[in-house]
Amino acid sequence: MIKHLLSMDQLTGDDITHILDTADSLRQVTDRPIKKLPTLRGRTVCNLFYEASTRTRISFELAAKRLSADVINFSADSKSSVSKGESFKDTAWTLEAMGVDAIVVRHGSSGAPLQLSKWVRASVLNAGDGAHEHPTQALLDLFSIREHFKDLSGLNVAIVGDVLHSRVARSNVKGLVTMGANVILVGPPTLIPPQARAWGAEISHDLDSVVDDLDVIYLLRVQKERQNEQLFPSLREYAAIWGLDARRARRLKPDALIMHPGPMNRGVEIGADVSEYPRSIILDQVANGLAVRMSLLYLMLGGQEEAA
């Protein structure tokens, strides 16, 4: 198993299948009255979060605890690490000196987990870096899709919205392409880098022309804080042209899945009621995150112990 999980580039189709299969069996633990395995007893996992993210941090924390690891949480504001206080590298060395076995890192600067992995002996798990990658999100998304479609190859998957700034999109495209899905990126040209074709995805600027054939529609969050960057005229226009409203949702194939990494802007990228459609698996994605992160910690840290 890999030492660090930094990018979906590291994983082959077999690796992904192995991770998801392991997640499947670990999920049964969650259904037991005592929801704990002893696998990582005596091991320490640090959640190092330079960006606020309650849901990802809690998911990792719970995953580690379910495997009996000790968990410490270290939160810092990205900006403060440059203006004042301890440098990223010094923080890394501090954690190293304390003997942590794994560092789960979320950082606003693309590439920070890769840099971290060169400074420490601990395993590094990328929990989202800048606009680069968010591999555990992609894995839980693949897991969620696999619950409905046993074989991912040949599925038509649209990822809709702000691909340019999205680490979720980058990781998902890589994972989906590796598993043989057909990926189409949909949105205005201001939000879809033309170079994304090099990732093995197609590009469309017309949601209406693709919606009928989709097996999965994956909506990215519109980052309202980017409104002043003139990427599109208004949220209203965005919703009208690139949002999954009820009208478009009705055109989806009956078994097509609706996905979103959260948190949602209801009424913008997704219609207010669409998220509650039966084929919306948005809450399953959250639940599956736990199993997938348990699987990764189990495979990446547990395996070391067996070898030692």
CB 118 within 8 A of CB 138: no
DSSP state of 299: I
The residues, any chain, with a CB within 8 Å of residue 175's CB and separated by 6 or more, are 8, 11, 16, 135, 138, 139, 141, 142
Q: What is the footprint of other proteins within residues 236-265 (CB under 8 A)?
A: none
- Smaller CB distance to other proteins: residue 30 or 80? 80
Cα distance between residue 115 and residue 106, in whole Å: 13
Q: Judged by CB under 8 A, how many residues of this single chain contact other proteins?
A: 26
Backbone torsion region of residue 42, taken as left when φ is above 0, otherwise alpha when ψ lies between -120 and 50, otherwise beta: left
Q: Which is nearer to other proteins, 79 or 251 (CB)?
A: 79
Task: Note whether 230 binds other proteins by CB under 8 A.
Answer: no
Decide if residue 49 touches other proteins (CB under 8 A): no
Residue 221 to residue 50: CA distance in whole angstroms:
20
| 59 token code pair | 């998911």
Which of residues 26, 103, 131, 186 is near other proteins by CB under 8 A? 131
Residue 120 φ then ψ, to 5°? -130, 160
Q: How far is the CB of 211 from other proteins (least distance, A)?
A: 25
- Using the rule CB under 8 A, is 109 a contact of other proteins? yes
* Closest of 261, 303, 307 to residue 135, by C-alpha: 261
As measured in angstroms, the least distance from the Cβ of 108 to other proteins is 8
Question: How far apart are CB 305 and other proteins at their closest, in Å?
Answer: 29
**Selected range binding other proteins among 29-37, 123-131, 143-151, 279-287, rule: CB under 8 A:** 123-131
- Footprint on residues 157-176 left by other proteins (CB under 8 A): 164, 167, 170
Question: By CB under 8 A, what part of segment 260-279 binds other proteins?
Answer: none
Task: Supply the DSSP symbol for 36.
Answer: -
User: Distance from first CA to last CA of the chain, Å, rounded?
Assistant: 14
Is residue 195 near other proteins by the rule CB under 8 A?
A: yes
Calculated CA dihedral for residues 172, 177, 161, 294, nearest 10 degrees: -10
Interface with other proteins in residues 51-90 (CB under 8 A): 81-82, 87-89
Residue 133 is a binding residue for other proteins (CB under 8 A): yes
Residue 114 interacting with other proteins (CB under 8 A): yes
Q: Does 115 bind other proteins (CB under 8 A)?
A: yes
Instruction: Determine phi and psi for 45, rounding to 5 degrees.
Output: -115, 130
Instruction: Residue 299: name the closest of 121, 86, 51, 123 by CA.
Output: 123
**Interface with other proteins includes 293 (CB under 8 A)?**
no
Query: Shortest gap between Cβ of 75 and other proteins (angstroms)?
Result: 16
Given the rule CB under 8 A, which residues bind other proteins? 81-82, 87-89, 107-112, 114-115, 129-133, 164, 167, 170, 193, 195-196, 198-199
